[in-house]
Amino acid sequence: MYTKDGEKYFIVDSHMHYWDATPANWVPGAERYAKGWIECFHAYQSLGPKETHWSIEKFEGYTEDDLMQDVFEDGHVDIAIFQPTYLKEWYTTGFNTTERNAALGEKHPGLFIANTRFDPRDGDVGLEELRRNVERYGSKGLKLYTAEWNNGSRGYKLSDPACYRFLEAARGLGIKNVHVHKGPTIWPLDKDAFDVSDVDHAATDFPELNFIVEHVGLPRIEDFCFMATQEPNVYAGLSVVIGGLMHARPKFFAKVMGELLFWVGEDKMTFGSDYGIWEPKWQVEGFVDWQMPDDAELSDYAKLTTATKKKILGLNAAKLYDIKVPAECQLPDSDGTPGARDDAALVTEA
Amino acid sequence: MSSRTDATVSPAPAPAPAPADVAGAGKDGLADAVWVALGTVRDPELDEPITTLGFVASCTVSAPGRAQVRLRLPTYFCAPNFAFLMVADAYDAVTAVAGVRAAEVILDDHFASDAINAGVAARAGFVASFDGEAAAELDELRATFLRKAVLAGTDLVCRPLAAAGRRPAELAAMTLGDVPASPGLARLRRRRADLGLPADDAAALLIDPATGAPVAPDDVPLHLRRAALTRTGIEANTSICSGMLRARYPQGADPRRFS
């Protein structure tokens, strides 16, 4: 919980990681990809405040103690949601697996939610693994990385029939939330890999599932926003938006937040630190202090209320994951129901 | 937040170097001409020249007219299709410079460098360069991003008009010839022309970039809102890319390194 000016904010970090990218975990023969991936993540960290930058050595393999300190002791987070990314073609034991996350989570009851994942190209074996993970770790959410390389394939779409088979299975297993992360590759390579229209199809066909598009579809914010206005079960995951723009590019942060609040709305935006890319402390504190600047160029955009910030920082994700929020952090009823799908008005005019 | 400015991370992308910074200029200024040619190559997503984005790591011309250009991108995993387009476009632009007898364009530090460099050198096209991984050449991808550029450019051009009090119905009735000349307008015309959309003085200012049809007065507010969103998206991407490039090549902010 974070308290500022007498207001209490319940913080759900809905997108964070516990990875192992140390050289010992690089797949022989694929070292350049493993190295390229973690160096790319490390460069993202440079977009945060200088005093929060880590050495590449720490970044490759931060410890459990680092994580507990940065996220919970210093970072104000009440509940953190692990989002796995496997990348087993490059990292021998995986970059950030359900098992690795859950093993840490089990040592600290009540602080973590362990999401799992699937890869539709894994076939029946993958379905069985999904079933096992959901049963063992109680996962209610999935993280899907569509650009993952798998046995010669450079990615998949949510709208692929093979993926629908997995989404159907996931729904049957009680999964509620699907976090989607787009990446640079997908078959065929001539198509725009960041295109979000496959999420649009899946969201329409699986209305019982919520689709949280991480980093708000960056670099396709415009396509994401337009799609999100059409689909009541599509949410904006703010990972990268706060971490990558709020400090480094405040003007663009303001414009992106203004657009998201207009098109997607404050009830469907969720905070995620993307730890260990960025520590949550400066993001939470900075966002609570942040306001849409008084600037002619930004005059189209709404100001943020305290209720808006409380929803984005935790109440919306708490709703998606049925997390119990202490009464002192809840909003009075008059401020609306966070995360309520039927609040999502379709935008038909400006 | 007000004390934090865009300068917090670092200065703007490396400026285009003065001609003298391009090595091998020689008496005929051939390297200058090659640099100018590279300035016509754009990142299709960001709609900016690769020279101002800092994507040209070096540009040299040796005495017999052999040009060598090295390109670099913000991350190891930048999308391979856009990377291919930039390398291929750079090759075409450099090859077209009078006096260039041979051109080599090399993309450094990218997961698909080998496939892209070999494919462009062999003029093999994208499908052949990524055998079995691509179904078509990149024309449709390029058109998709030109349409985004048209929308973003519409925001740039219309924002001052709206600020000056032009109502939606008035904007819907305006032609390109009604708009005061500006670099933004010239750019919007070029992007429209690239797509085969009307770009002359008599053409409607507001059109659907997919069909070229004029925007009806009632649809203007949403059209402009969408144009603003598209511009914000492109500009946010550009700002992140420039920050990532600088983190990756911190020394590259100094144009004197161009050699």
Q: Is B1 domain-assigned?
A: no
| Tens digit of each residue's pLDDT (9 = 90 or more) over A89-137 | 999 999 999 999 999 999 999 999 999 999 999 999 999 999 999 999 9
The residue whose two tokens read 């090659």 is B34
Asked if B144 and B121 sit in the same domain, the reply is no
pLDDT at B18 over 50: no
The whole-chain average pLDDT of chain A stands at: 95
Asked if B94 and B173 sit in the same domain, the reply is no
| pTM for the structure as a whole | 0.92
Q: Are A81 and A13 in contact (CB under 8 A)?
A: yes
Closest listed residue to residue A196, CA positions, set A165, A230, A169, A170: A230
Q: Is B78 domain-assigned?
A: yes
Asked if B93 and B132 sit in the same domain, the reply is yes
Asked if B106 and B51 sit in the same domain, the reply is yes
CB crowding B207-235: b at 16 or more within 10 Å, else e: bbbeeeebbeeebbeebbbbbbbbbbbbb
Asked if B43 and B130 sit in the same domain, the reply is yes
Which of residues 233 through 252 in chain B touch A, CB cutoff 8 A?
Answer: 233, 235-237, 239-240, 243-244, 246-248
Asked if B230 and B253 sit in the same domain, the reply is no
Asked if B49 and B112 sit in the same domain, the reply is yes
Q: Is B243 domain-assigned?
A: yes
Q: Number of structural domains, chain B?
A: 2
Element housing A100 (H / E): helix A98-107
Answer yes or no: do A43 and B240 touch at CB < 8 A: no
Asked if B22 and B133 sit in the same domain, the reply is yes
Asked if B57 and B161 sit in the same domain, the reply is no
| Tens digit of each residue's pLDDT (9 = 90 or more) over B82-131 | 999 999 999 999 999 999 999 999 999 999 999 999 999 999 999 999 99
For residue B167, give its domain range. 139-235
Mutate which of A37, A189, A223 to disrupt the B interface (most B C-beta within 10 Å)?
Answer: A189
B75 Cβ under 8 Å from any chain A Cβ: yes
Q: Name the DSSP class of B61.
A: E
Q: How far is A311 from chain B (nearest CA, A)?
A: 21
| Tens digit of each residue's pLDDT (9 = 90 or more) over B169-195 | 999 999 999 999 999 999 999 999 999
Asked if B36 and B106 sit in the same domain, the reply is yes
What is the interface size between A and B, counted as CB pairs within 8 Å? 147
Chain B residues with CB under 8 Å of A191 CB are 81, 141
Q: For A185, name the nearest residue in chain B, comparing CA atoms only.
A: B79
| Tens digit of each residue's pLDDT (9 = 90 or more) over A221-240 | 999 999 999 999 999 999 99
DSSP symbols for B92-153: HHHHTSTT--EEEEEE-S-TTHHHHHHHHHTT-HHHHHTTTT-SS-SHHHHHHHHHHHHHHH
CATH code, B14: 3.30.300.130
A54 Cβ under 8 Å from any chain B Cβ: no
Chain B residues with CB under 8 Å of A46 CB are 9, 243, 246-247
Q: Name the DSSP class of A332.
A: P
Asked if B61 and B99 sit in the same domain, the reply is yes
The residue whose two tokens read 């349409």 is B147
Which residues face A165 on adjacent strands?
none
Chain B residues with CB under 8 Å of A44 CB are 244
Q: How far is B229 from chain A (nearest CA, A)?
A: 6
Asked if B11 and B120 sit in the same domain, the reply is yes
Answer yes or no: do A188 and B133 touch at CB < 8 A: yes
Domains and CATH numbers, chain A: 10-321 (3.20.20.140)
